[in-house]
Amino acid sequence: MSSTEKSKGIFSNLKYDAPASIVVFLVAVPLCLGIALASGAPLFSGIIAGIVGGIVVGALSGSQLGVSGPAAGLAVIVLTAINELGAFEIFLMAVVLGGVFQLLLGFARAGIIGYYFPSSVIKGMLSGIGIIIILKQIPHAFGYDKDYEGSLAFAAPDGHNTFSQLYYMFEAVSPGAILISVLSIAVLVLWEQPFMKRIRLFQIVQGPLIVVSLGILLNILFQSMPSLMLKADQMVAIPVPETIGGFFAQFTFPDFSQITNSAVWITGITLAVVASLETLLCLEATDKLDPFKRVSPANQELKAQGVGNILSGLIGGLPITQVIVRSSTNIQSGGRTKMSAILHGFILLGCAMAIPMILNLIPLASLAAILFLVGYKLAKPALFKQMYNLGQQHFVPFITTILGIVFTDLLMGIGIGLVVAIFYVLYNNYKKPFLFESEKHIKDGTICLELAEDVTFINKASIQRTLSQIPDGAKVIIDASKTIHIDQDVIEIIDEFKENAKFRNIDLHLIEVHSIDLKDQVKEVEHAIANNMISPNGAAKKAEV
């Protein structure tokens, strides 16, 4: 995207954002309903969360491509909380409080947490979600719909799991669903071909829109064919009010009398922490997928999510996070700015009010085909090859994160991947407490150990081991002239070696073995920029007297 396009604002990209918003809407509808069902909440609460996530959070967020709505990662927490609190209205009070806590986290600049997750884990998260999307959608493509749409957990509500579902789906094969899936996949593959993308009409009309239209037509056609006819649970199932007034009657309001209930506060804090963590991880992942490589402000995102959750709780919606399935769908459908997320919210609102019966004609098999493509693009074989070529310290956390997500759930899988990544960081730090090259650091029989820039307690064992192996009578130089920080633990080891060297006839020379007392360098740069100490051409300005 050129700087000229950016300066025109979000409306200049409507030709990209509008088609993308329709695809995101089509994917969002069953996800909103499925997550509400799994949460034990009214189905319409998922639609409310999708509308608020699109319109409100989309407008306030600094993320250009992120899409927010109800998240599968919160389904178990929501289900447990509703049962323990005793009523959905009481739970809504907790959602409102959770939004307030998220606002506070945003103002406290807690968004920095998301930057502490290594790239290998974030890429593993994207690939893991891609694989789990494909595995979870295969049963829907066959017409077996026991697991709710949007599920990312290994365990399914019916007691089965991701892999056993693939076996049991053969007991409920639906020829009509399979036919729709096969034709839909064929259309999507055709739409991805280069010659199709060169035709202007097909640049405007997205393949997923054709797939859904085809699915509706086939569904209507199959109703006169008993062998191919789809069942009610094989289609989207949005609540259908009899009147416009009936639509607004589906909104629920929190029980404000429960604001002093400690259990409500605990639930609110839990929702805020988990939702914020999931949002920050998805924000980081979305930025990785952004073809324009924009960096989204994390603290602004937490504030936007906080406002969204306050509003969602006030009108009867589920808690909201930024969600990677919808965000990646947005990116892969050609979305360029936040307008695609906002438009998808308005489309969801308008269709839920005006044409819910038409939406209920959409087969889940059609949506499964769309999500197959999304999943494949997230977990392309080329990414696995790229991570493998980067070496073990990147590939192992990447694969571990994928396996963790597939066999547990999103947050647990990321946690497992992070632990493995941290292990590699610690191990590499342990191996490199100093620089030593035989040709460079042994001259005239003198051993020179050039300490690393940052020497911590993690390096204690390796330094202790090295010093203990130095032979008696040797000449040793420990050079810390390029070191910024040395832990006191390491200084004590060097001091002990210094004393021991006297008895071993070791000629020891120490160079600047101490820590430099530096201020926070990040804040120093921020201060320089804020006080206009750097000129546009890069030269430093003289301080005014």
Decide: helix, strand or coil at residue 5. helix
Give the per-residue pLDDT at 6: 46
pLDDT, one tens digit per residue, over 191-205 is: 888 888 787 777 777
Distances in whole angstroms, Cα of residue 291 to Cα of each of 295, 324, 343:
11, 15, 21
Cα 137 off chain centre by? 20
* Percent with pLDDT over 70 in the chain: 93
Mapped onto helix, strand or coil, the DSSP state of residue 48 is helix
Q: Tell me how far apart the alpha carbons of residues 366 and 230 are, in angstroms, rounded to a whole number.
A: 12
What SS3 class is residue 532? coil
For the 434-511 domain, the top CATH level (class) is alpha beta
Q: Residue 543 above 50 pLDDT? A: no
∠ at Cα 111 (72, 538), nearest 5°? 135
For residue 5, the model assigns a pLDDT of 45
Please give the average per-residue pLDDT across 317-344, as a whole number. Answer: 95
- Does 151 score more than 70 pLDDT? yes
Tell me if 321 sits within 8 A of 278, measured CB to CB: yes
With bands split at pLDDT 50, 70 and 90, how would you rate the model's confidence at 515? Answer: low
- Ramachandran area for residue 391 (φ above 0: left; ψ -120 to 50: alpha; else beta): left
pLDDT of residue 453: 84
- CA dist 312 and 50 (Å) reads 9
Q: State the average pLDDT for the chain.
A: 89
DSSP bridge partners of 70? 320
Q: For the chain, what percent of residues have pLDDT higher than 90? A: 66
Mean local confidence (pLDDT), 501-519: 82
pLDDT number for residue 249: 86
Residue 184: predicted pLDDT: 96
Kindly report the CA angle at 114 between 111 and 116, in degrees rounded to 5?
125
CA distances from residue 275 to 50, 93, 437, 492 in whole angstroms, order as listed: 15, 16, 48, 44
Quick one: pLDDT at residue 281?
A: 94
97-111, 456-470, 525-539, range with greatest mean pLDDT: 97-111
Please, which pLDDT band fits residue 534 given cuts at 50, 70 and 90? low
R_g (Cα) of the chain, nearest Å: 28
The structural domains of the chain, with segments of one domain joined by +, span 10-387, 434-511
Is the pLDDT confidence value at 491 over 50? yes
Reply yes or no on whether the pLDDT at 19 is more than 80.
yes
Whether the full predicted model's pTM is greater than 0.85, yes or no, is no
204 vs 14: CA distance, rounded Å: 11
Rounded Cα–Cα distance for residues 104 and 38 (Å):
29
Lowest mean pLDDT among 456-465, 482-491, 525-534: 525-534
Q: For the purposes of burial, counting CB atoms within 10 Å of the CB of 261, is it exposed (0-12), middle (13-18) or buried (19 or more)?
A: middle
The interaxial angle of helices 460-469 and 488-503, nearest 10 deg, is: 10
CA distance 337 to 26: 18
Residue 164, pLDDT score: 92
Rounded Cα gap, residues 343 and 355, in angstroms: 17
pLDDT at 532 exceeding the cut of 80: no
> How do residues 376-392 score in pLDDT, each as one tens digit?
999 999 999 999 999 99
Show the tokens assigned to 77.
């927490």
Q: Which residue has the higher pLDDT, 356 or 201?
A: 356
